[in-house]
């Protein structure tokens, strides 16, 4: 989104030198001047790609002053918490994938939110009946223990080179001095106006004068600036054990609703003990081989790595580089359909569920499922899952289940540094605006991530691995991905978009690796998203294309979706330069930057 603090990149360099790296920052008196914004940048010294120019600039300045890709990712994420508060922030969670150039290894962090320890499978049921989804969204009941601050600290402890406090300074200044509101920010605020108005802290922050901020106005968040300063000085334990933890718990357990509001806002059962017990977890990444490359992703509790990996394994037997546009999309859609059928049956929090991750990623299982795909027909949805532990050719089991809804407003960032380290990091508060509940005096929204659980079994006849449980992590579709060749990075990418994240990453990977599209064009290409549903969602570029009629003749049924995902990525070019790529149009266009720009490739 194009929401920018009043600085261009070179001026921001001066600000960071004075503010983040030594002296006091200047007063915020000059009118905002948006920094330059481009969907592609090429050069040396490292790269950052995100949806927001201010956030990307914060990461670039960390790289310019000796920080590495992890440091830059944390600084960028913190800035996104200011300019993208309806998508991400310290009230949410996410998944962090890191490539270490020195050891040529990929490691990941699961920073997913967790349910209260009192939760059970009936968390979202009353009298044995699931409550309405929208009631759960705007409630304390849907709030999970935030994982984002713990993720930042765990990443910095393992791979970072700068202290958290230093990395939060650019975001703190951005919150204090403000950024320019764009039309997307205004529209998202307007879409949440009724919810925000019911919570005095949200209304005061996001509805100045009772209305959404006008495009072109300056938006400031002094409370969040103070919160970042507190975390920088006292550490993230302040959110898990200190006064901030107590504020979060009291907000969840007794949501501060306007007395005049008619909305029924259910309280949650989060406790200070839940926050104290929270841990971001190191996990082994998923890995599959594809076209001679190694594709690494996020293991459960996310279904991203297993689903993208299974779909790639299914597609491996088809030469997509020679397939026509119709056959390519047909195969892509069907592989996605199958992968979603299998994830619905098998993937959940591995602390609670026996997830057959290795078998799901096995080529034997993929081959047993790939043979279901025919070039002249479409599989029925919802498709029943296969059995990865006992794969039988072209067979499937019982218990087909539809894919449950996941909120689509998340954000993704990708960073790289001069030493060759890479980060792909997706973070979220779930729905646009999360729970709608701002922690009073703290300047950030709480997530509604627990609504990613199944409210009741998706198919009562079959075990559902995504039912709530005590301290359980809801299944996610977040898919930060790193691709290596002979141990060295080729590219890294990810996207927001709920369950469409998986299909966006899959289509972008195959568009670039198989179809030969430049990374920025693979990101920009019109998307299709099939998630084991009778209909496949497609963007206008495909809806208005002759390919649509050709696919419909095969039996595909489509539903129009104006916008799917908002990907960002980085690519290592053969000459050693970094290419950063982002959206050209979606969400107002993204922001790709490099430390030392050079000629475009």
Region for 565 from its dihedrals, namely left if φ exceeds 0, alpha if ψ lies in -120 to 50, beta otherwise: left
Sign of the torsion angle spanned by Cα atoms 347, 350, 355, 357: positive
> If you compute the radius of gyration of the chain from its CA atoms, what whole number of angstroms results?
23
Of all helices (H) and strands (E), which one includes residue 179?
A: strand 179-180
Give the three-state DSSP class for 131: coil
> Which residues have CB under 8 Å from 588's CB, separation 6+?
1, 2, 51, 182, 183, 184
Task: Report residue 177 as tokens.
Answer: 């001095």
The answer to whether 464 touches 453, Cβ cutoff 8 Å, is no
In sequence order, the 6+-apart residues with CB closer than 8 A to the CB of 322 are: none
Q: What is the DSSP string of 524-593?
A: HS--EE-SSSSSEEE-HHHHTSHHHHHHHHHT--EEE-S-----EEEEE-TTS-EEEEE-SSGGG--EEE
In terms of Cα–Cα distance, which of 431, 345, 437 is closest to 382?
345
Q: Contact at 8 Å (CB) between 137 and 431?
A: yes
- What is the number of other CB atoms lying within 10 angstroms of the CB of residue 94? 32
SS3 332: helix
The yes-or-no answer on residue 410 being catalytic is yes
Ramachandran angles phi, psi of 464, nearest 5°? -105, 115
Q: How far apart are CA 401 and CA 517, in angstroms?
A: 35
The Cα 425–Cα 419 span in angstroms is: 18
Distance CA 214, CA 271 (A): 38
What is the spatial distance between Cα 78 and Cα 466, in angstroms, rounded to a whole number? 30
Out of 108, 114, 151, 410, the active site residue is 410
Query: Which residues have a Cβ under 8 Å from the Cβ of 415 and sit 6 or more positions away?
Result: 46, 47, 48, 49, 59, 63, 69, 70, 72, 73, 76, 422, 423, 425, 570
Kindly list the catalytic residues. Answer: 410
């Amino acid at each position: 989104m194009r929401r920018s603090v009043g600085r261009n990149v070179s001026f921001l360099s001066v600000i960071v030198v004075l503010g983040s790296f030594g002296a006091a920052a200047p007063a915020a008196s000059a009118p905002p001047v948006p920094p330059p914004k481009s969907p592609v940048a090429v050069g040396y010294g490292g790269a950052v790609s995100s949806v927001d120019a201010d956030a990307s600039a914060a990461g670039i300045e960390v790289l310019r002053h000796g920080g590495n890709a992890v440091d830059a990712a944390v600084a960028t994420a913190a800035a996104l918490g200011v300019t993208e508060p309806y998508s991400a922030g310290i009230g949410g969670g996410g998944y962090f994938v890191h490539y270490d150039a020195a050891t040529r290894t990929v490691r990941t962090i699961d920073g997913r939110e967790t349910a209260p320890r009192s939760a059970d499978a009936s968390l979202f049921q009353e009298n044995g009946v699931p409550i309405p989804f929208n009631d759960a969204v705007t409630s304390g009941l849907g709030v999970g223990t935030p994982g984002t601050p713990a993720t930042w600290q765990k990443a910095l402890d393992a791979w970072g080179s700068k202290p958290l406090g230093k990395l939060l300074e650019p975001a703190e200044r951005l919150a204090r001095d403000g950024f320019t509101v764009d039309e997307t920010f205004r529209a998202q605020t307007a879409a949440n106006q009724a919810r925000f108005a019911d919570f005095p802290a949200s209304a005061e922050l996001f509805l100045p004068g009772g209305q959404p901020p006008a495009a072109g106005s300056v938006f400031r968040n002094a409370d969040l600036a103070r919160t970042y300063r507190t975390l920088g000085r006292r550490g993230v334990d302040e959110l898990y054990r200190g006064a901030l933890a107590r504020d979060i718990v009291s907000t969840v357990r007794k949501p501060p609703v306007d007395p005049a509001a008619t909305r029924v806002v259910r309280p949650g059962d989060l406790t200070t003990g839940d926050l104290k017990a929270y841990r971001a977890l190191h996990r082994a990444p998923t890995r599959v081989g594809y076209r001679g490359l190694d594709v690494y992703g996020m293991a459960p509790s996310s279904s991203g790595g297993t689903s993208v990996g299974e779909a790639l394994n299914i597609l491996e037997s088809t030469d997509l580089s020679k397939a026509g546009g119709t056959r390519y999309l047909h195969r892509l859609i069907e592989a996605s359909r199958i992968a979603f059928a299998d994830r619905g049956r098998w993937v959940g929090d591995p602390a609670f569920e026996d997830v057959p991750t290795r078998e799901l990623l096995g080529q034997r299982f993929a081959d047993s499922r790939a043979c279901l795909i025919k070039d002249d027909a479409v599989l029925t949805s919802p498709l029943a899952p296969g059995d990865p532990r006992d794969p039988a050719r072209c067979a499937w089991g019982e218990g087909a289940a539809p894919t449950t809804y996941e909120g689509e407003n998340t954000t993704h960032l990708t960073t790289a540094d001069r030493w060759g380290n890479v980060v792909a990091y997706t973070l979220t508060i779930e729905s646009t605006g999360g729970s709608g509940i701002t922690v009073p005096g703290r300047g950030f929204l709480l997530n509604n991530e627990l609504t990613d659980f199944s409210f009741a079994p998706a198919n009562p006849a079959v075990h559902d691995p995504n039912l709530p449980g005590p301290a359980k992590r809801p299944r996610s579709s977040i898919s930060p991905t790193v691709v290596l060749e002979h141990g060295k990075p080729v590219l890294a990418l990810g996207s927001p978009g709920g369950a469409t994240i998986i299909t966006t990453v899959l289509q972008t990977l195959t568009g670039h690796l198989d179809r030969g599209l430049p990374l920025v064009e693979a990101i920009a290409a019109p998307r299709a998203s099939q998630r084991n549903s009778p209909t496949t969602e497609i963007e206008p570029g495909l809806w208005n294309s002759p390919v649509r009629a050709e696919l419909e003749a095969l039996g595909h049924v489509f539903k129009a979706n104006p916008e799917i995902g908002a990907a960002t990525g980085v690519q290592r070019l053969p000459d050693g330069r970094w290419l950063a790529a982002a959206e050209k149009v979606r969400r107002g266009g993204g922001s790709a930057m490099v430390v030392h720009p050079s000629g475009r490739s």
